[in-house]
Amino acid sequence: MATKDQILAIDQGTTSTRSIVYDRQASPLATERREFAQHYPERGWVEHDPEDIWRDTMATARAAIEAAGGGPEAISAIGITNQRETVVVWDRETGKPVYNAIVWQDRRTARFCDRLREQGAEATIRDRSGLLIDPYFSASKLRWILDQVEGARSRAEAGKLAFGTIDSFLLWRLTGGRVHATDATNACRTQLFNIHEHAWDDELLRLFDIPSALLPEVRDNAGIFGETEHSLFGRAIPIAGMAGDQQAAVIGQACFAKGTAKSTYGTGCFMLLNTGEQAVSSDNRMLTTIAYRLDGQTTYALEGAIFVAGAAIKWLRDGIGLITRASDTHDMATKVPDSHGVYMVPGFTGLGAPHWDPDARGLICGLTLGSGAAHIARAALESVAYQTLDLAAAMQDDGGGEARAIRVDGGMAANDWFCQFLANILDVPVERPTELESTARGAAFLAGLATGVWDSLDAISKVWTQGAAFKPAMEPKLRRTLIDGWNEALARTLMKPPKPRP
């Protein structure tokens, strides 16, 4: 019999599903990935077919296990990480979804959210859940399904339906319907969970008109959630770790000390600052969230979301044909000494934290006859650093403290020029790990914690290795001038003066 020395991490994302098998040193042995269809039934609506997600989860998991070489007998545990806030409702008896999954990007509940805000509910929601009123979160999406799918509300009230984010749906399917549970990091993104009392909140359920019979049990991030059906992999495998994707990246980046921060650069950017045992309330429209919960002890974070990071580079390539490959931006940025006064504010889908302006739109300003393609490409990269500064400054204003360093991951983090410019603008060191894939790795770490592969967070910290470090190296006067230029460009986009940043 093979030694159980491997961990399977399932990373169910917004556009693709991946399965990665790791060894005991958290090195990837095999990776399988499948993209799946996006559905846009109406303007502003985004849906996924849960059956597509389930099919791809099983296909990639089985293929990764086979490619790793040890077979199912070598897998000691499974960790799951997932796109957050996306909603699935299914029949408890058949396991079939009653409607497509409504994705975190979906905006169909905007008017309902406006009404809640007009009714003065935002303070209650923020104080209890740590979140702002926005269609981004799960609660209004869940309410929509109950109200719009025929018979759904009455079946939910009778206890015949189950609700979950993607982690919960996959757990249900993997365990053959035996386990209806979620973890604290996913629960806290639903807008129905009280992050201080660590329970589903009756007042929030009332505001959104959600029957409690729908809800999963909330558990720690590391622990035995259940075992897979024997028929799925040829043996029962423990499911031992779960976390939402951004919190999984916190684990994967070993940001366990108060004041440590990670910033993930994908399509957008999500920055989380560890605030320790304190749930810091934000005056700057940042989110107060659970970073992780282990052995019943909760660690909190402040979170800021940038809607457009890598998507700006994709727009340069696919939207206006300025580049042919994303990697071209590195070469173009280094060909010119500066951006020649050009700034891009990538408000293509509005601006996220700390502005939360859904009506903002993209802007390129400072163009002269001397401006060229390289200046625009450089301005696109620089815009991500400036937006990250806005997040870091807001977190510091909120009392979250100044980050000692920023650990980066995601596709853009592979760009050395970007990482150095980020360090210069933030004026703090930027640390890049040897393994840029932090989300799935975090899920593997959690599963390994629960099954004894790693016995503590300190043990995980020792596995994390720094690949490169970028120290601030910009003259303070130049830094101030660049930031002032960004603030002016931002003001043009917002049509109002932004809050001054250091």
Whether pLDDT at 425 is above 80: yes
Flag the least confident range among 19-33, 275-289, 344-358, 425-439: 344-358
Tokens of 354: 């700390």
Model pLDDT for residues 67-95, shown as the tens digit of each residue? 999 999 999 999 999 999 999 999 999 99
pTM: 0.88
For residue 499, what pLDDT band results from cuts at 50, 70 and 90?
A: low
3-state secondary structure 341-371: CCEEECCECEECCCCCECCCCCEEECCCCCC
Whether pLDDT at 280 is above 80: yes
Whether pLDDT at 492 is above 70: yes
3-state secondary structure 116-175: HHHCCCHHHHHHHHCCCCCCCCHHHHHHHHHHHCCCHHHHHHCCCEEEECHHHHHHHHHC
**Arithmetic mean of pLDDT over the chain:** 91
Please report the pLDDT score of residue 182 as a whole number.
97
Whether pLDDT at 113 is above 80: yes
Which element (helix H / strand E) includes 207? helix 202-208
Domain ranges, ordered by start, for the chain: 6-246, 254-437+472-502
How many Cα atoms sit within 13 Å of 487 on the Cβ side? 15
Whether pLDDT at 319 is above 90: no
Flag the least confident range among 84-88, 195-199, 408-412, 427-431: 408-412
Stretch 118-146: mean pLDDT, rounded? 93
Please report the pLDDT score of residue 282 as a whole number.
85
8 Å CB contact between 75 and 8: yes
Please report the pLDDT score of residue 500 as a whole number.
64
Distance CA 359, CA 351 (A): 8
Please report the pLDDT score of residue 1 as a whole number.
37
More confident residue, 398 or 65: 65
8 Å CB contact between 392 and 384: no
> What architecture is the 6-246 domain classified under in CATH?
2-Layer Sandwich (3.30)
Q: Do domains 6-246 and 254-437+472-502 have the same CATH topology?
A: yes
Residue 13: closest CA among 260, 268, 239: 268
Q: Out of 3.90.79.10, 3.40.50.150, 3.30.420.40, 3.65.10.10, select the CATH number for domain 254-437+472-502.
A: 3.30.420.40
3-class SS of residue 428:
coil
Model pLDDT for residues 482-491, shown as the tens digit of each residue? 999 999 999 8
Whether pLDDT at 335 is above 60: yes
Residue 180: closest CA among 57, 72, 91: 91
